A and B are shown apart, each in its own frame.
Chain A
Amino acid sequence: MGNKQTIFTPEQLDAYQDCTFFTRKEILRLFYRYRDLAPQLVPLDYTDKPDVTLPYELIGSMPELKDNPFRQRIAEVFSASGDGNMTLDDFLDMFSVLSEMAPRDLKAYYAFKIYDFNNDDYICKSDLEKTVNKLTRNELTPEEVSLVCEKVIYEADADNDGKLSLEDFQHMIIRAPDFL
């Protein structure tokens, strides 16, 4: 309404606003952040929906993600092709879910997908072991890691099949108010 920007059509901006938790200004700011990663690849005109994908290395070097131990999994989960290369849509999606305005069950759903390393819709013991190693930076011995994973599965597995399904995980998250 009065902002003379030529990057998106008004309908595109409205569609972005409807699908993410961001306002117009925030979407434009995110677009500029996306573009700053590779100014030569990203055009300034998105009205004709160009098909531009940025490689994972650029995304992973952003200051918000650089030190996050799960940055590779986050990029893989949110990228449409599953290999960490992200289009602008994926980029906006990712930040929308990671923002503080996203509801907890949405975050829990994506957290489940991030922790599910082998993409089989269950968090099995090997997924948990990889998670623990990433969270503690390999400071625990393999026996301790294994013990911890067994405890986690014992406590959270409601239907006793040896792995955590999405419902088990969401049930656990609901009981932990500190999850962000």
Chain B
Amino acid sequence: IFHGFYAEEKLVGNLASMSASERIKAIQKMPETMRKKREISNRVLKEITRKSRRRGAGLSCCTGCLLRAAVFYRRFENVLSESFGRLRLWHRTLKIIGAEFGTSVLSYFLFLKWLITLNIFSFLINFSFITVPQFVAAAPNNLPFTGLELFTGAGYFQETVLYYGFYTNATISKAENGPSYNMQLAYIFSIGGYFAVCFLILLFSMARSFYRNFVNPLVHPGTASKLLCTWDFSVTNEKAVRLKQRNLSTQIKEELAGVNREVLSFSVRERVVRMVIHLVSWAASLGTAVAACAGIYFLSINNLKLFVEGRKNDLATEAAMLVLPVVTSLLNTFIPFFYSWLGRLEGFQTPGQQIYVTIVRNIILRISIVGILCCYWLNVVAASDSQCWETLVGQDTYRLVLFDFVFCLLGCFFGEFLPRIIGTTCSVNRGLPEFDIGRNILDLIYAQTLTWVSVLFSPLLPGIQIMLFSIVFYVKKVSLRMNCQPPRRFWRTAQMTTLFILLLFFPSFLGVLSVIGVTVWRLKPSEECGPFRGLPSMFAAVSEWIRVLESYAVSHWVVWVYHNLITSELFFFIISTPVVFLIYFYWKIIEGRKTMARLLHMLIIN
């Protein structure tokens, strides 16, 4: 707030000494009217020309040129950003969704869009570095194409670029003694590079989310923040606004009544009963998860036996291959209902606790299902005597992804369309269904985990997933506007988004990284197919390449980096110890600042 002439002079002086882009940002951020800002901007420009004139008349034409060049450059930048702005995907749709349903529902669509961009990135890398060279050296495909391949992923697709097995292990070169393209290295490095970049992207988004949304609250945010800070100014639909107002008043009434409720403390007996109830529900949910995993494991072993023994390509065997994905998707659809029912039964103290516990149980279920499938693939399929186990894994993931998509659409139909029909015709009291944000985002995380697992075995599956995700986007958008009403409960968007990014990073991405790590380092690739046939492990391709490089003098630094940094354990120990110390150090600083803030607060009050 700028009172006084001298404050303004100081401001103009400060602005004049900044660089051009910083100055523009500072002026944009000033809480003044446009007229005042223009005035200040003009005075700053005058100050700058005055300063440069003082430095010497000889330089003044230079500064004039520089200023003109800066203006020209800014205009060019604007044109570029405007033309790229047109490429922003679904910008208008997202704004409309935010206006009618609020930012909580919007966060689901933003998450979906973000996953689609990650997949586009993966697809581009894989396609350009692996698939395109493969087209050059492709073997002809003699298998017949029946329509069933679209569902089973086997048959005709087996001998296409879709799966690992088709890729050659040769060094491709177009002309004699021309530049050659080593397919093995290309495969490992492009997939490794993609995962490394993904890791950094996820780490940075998580850190940024945490920083923005988890600043330590000194005091438990009570009515104050709920009242003044949760009004969603981006909502412009009249019905939604009225609904929000009603929700806010209900919540305030609950909060005022809840103050009295918290005062009662539970007796010892009641506390024990509640603890027993919680333990029993956790046991039930973990038990269901374990049972589901065991069922899937035995079903898949049976499937493999059928496939390896049968080897017939008739309709029965193909249909039998579909049983596993259908059963997995059915379990994924119905067990969460059981969990929500359990959650309602348990009687948590706050609805927020119920949401968190249900989300944790769901994520445990899904990650253990993916985990058991990976276990099965890496331990059983890789050791089986099938011709090309990586292609089998790729086909399994293709089917799982496809059926997850189909069940997602069915869920949309049965979960939103039918309840709306029922709500408007039969029992009008129930009203329209709500969009279940948590459940839908967990579905997305599960689908993305499967896609990441499949990148190594089926390099083009991210491309297929992009298409499926886009279809899901449109279907969910249409279903949302046709069938759903804006959410009734307060959904802490910022905290929940941070939680979901954390879930995407920690169990999902790191789990996939460990699976890929085990595959690349430990497992023996199949003898007859794929770019790594004949090698003892996939990573052996890199070690062989390093051995070749040792004979060239120019590339000694690469060899040194490899031997001393990547494969030596000492290096990782040296890196991780300071990181751990840094984390501990920062944590102590934060604690110290918290105490300081508390003390200062006391001082101000008294």
Contacts and interface: CB of A to CB of B under 8 A. Distances in A.
A19 B36 CA distance: 10
A172 B225 contact: yes
Contacts of A89: 33-35
Interface string B38-55: 100100000000000000
Contact of A23 (B81, B230, B248, B252): B81
B253 A144 contact: yes
Contacts of A80: 33, 35
Given A155-B219, A178-B492, A139 B249 contact: yes
Contacts of B34: 16, 19-20, 89-90, 92-93
B227 A132 contact: yes
A136 B78 contact: no
A44 interface: no
A110 B31 contact: yes
A81 to B, nearest CB: 11
A52 interface: no
A106 B29 contact: yes
A106 B41 contact: no
Given A19-B27, A110-B31, A175 B38 contact: no
Given A15-B41, A178-B494, A151 B223 contact: yes
Nearest to A97: B31
B148 interface: no
Interface string B237-256: 11001100110110011001
Contacts of A140: 249, 252-253
B241 A19 contact: no
Contact of A68 (B71, B241, B495): B241
Nearest to B71: A14
Contacts of A179: 229-230
Contact of A98 (B223, B233, B235, B494): B233
A38 interface: no
Interface in A100-143: 100, 103, 105-106, 109-111, 115, 131-132, 135-137, 139-140
A152 interface: yes
Contacts, number: 157
Contact of B224 (A2, A20, A96, A155): A155
B103 interface: yes
B518 interface: no
Contact of B233 (A139, A152, A180): A180
Interface in B243-273: 245-246, 248-249, 252-253, 256
A25 B82 contact: yes
Nearest to A25: B82
B18 interface: no
B79 to A, nearest CB: 5
A178 B85 contact: no
Interface stretch (B209-217, B449-457, B506-514): B209-217
Interface in B135-193: none
B256 A90 contact: no
A96 B27 CA distance: 13
Given A15-B38, A69-B241, A137-B246, A23 B494 contact: no
Given A136-B248, A139-B249, A93 B33 contact: yes
B604 interface: yes
B315 interface: no
Interface residues of B, number: 62
A173 B229 contact: yes
Contact of A175 (B78, B225, B236): B225
A67 B85 CA distance: 29
B79 A109 contact: no
Indicate the member of A14, A64, A93, A135 with the most B CB atoms within 10 Å. Answer: A135
A175 B227 contact: no
Interface in A55-101: 63-69, 80, 89-90, 92-93, 96, 98, 100
Given A63-B236, A158-B601, A178 B41 contact: no
Given A106-B31, A159-B605, A151 B38 contact: no
A177 B228 contact: no
A66 B256 CA distance: 31
Contacts of A166: 1
B35 A144 contact: no
A34 interface: no
In this complex, the member of B34, B41, B76 whose beta carbon has the largest number of chain A beta carbons within 10 angstroms is B34
Given A90-B34, A175-B221, A67 B103 contact: no
B215 A175 contact: yes
B217 A136 contact: no
Contact of B85 (A23, A115, A147): A23
Interface in A154-180: 155-156, 158-160, 166, 169, 172-180
Given A135-B248, A172-B225, 6 more contacts: A14-B71, A16-B34, A18-B28, A103-B29, A137-B242, A178-B103
Interface of A: 1-2, 14-21, 23-25, 63-69, 80, 89-90, 92-93, 96, 98, 100, 103, 105-106, 109-111, 115, 131-132, 135-137, 139-140, 144, 147-148, 151-152, 155-156, 158-160, 166, 169, 172-180
16 contacts: A18-B41, A19-B41, A20-B28, A20-B34, A25-B85, A96-B28, A106-B31, A139-B246, A139-B249, A151-B223, A152-B224, A155-B223, A158-B604, A172-B228, A176-B225, A178-B493
The 8 nearest A-B residue pairs measured at CB: A176-B229, A177-B494, A136-B249, A177-B213, A176-B225, A89-B34, A155-B224, A139-B249
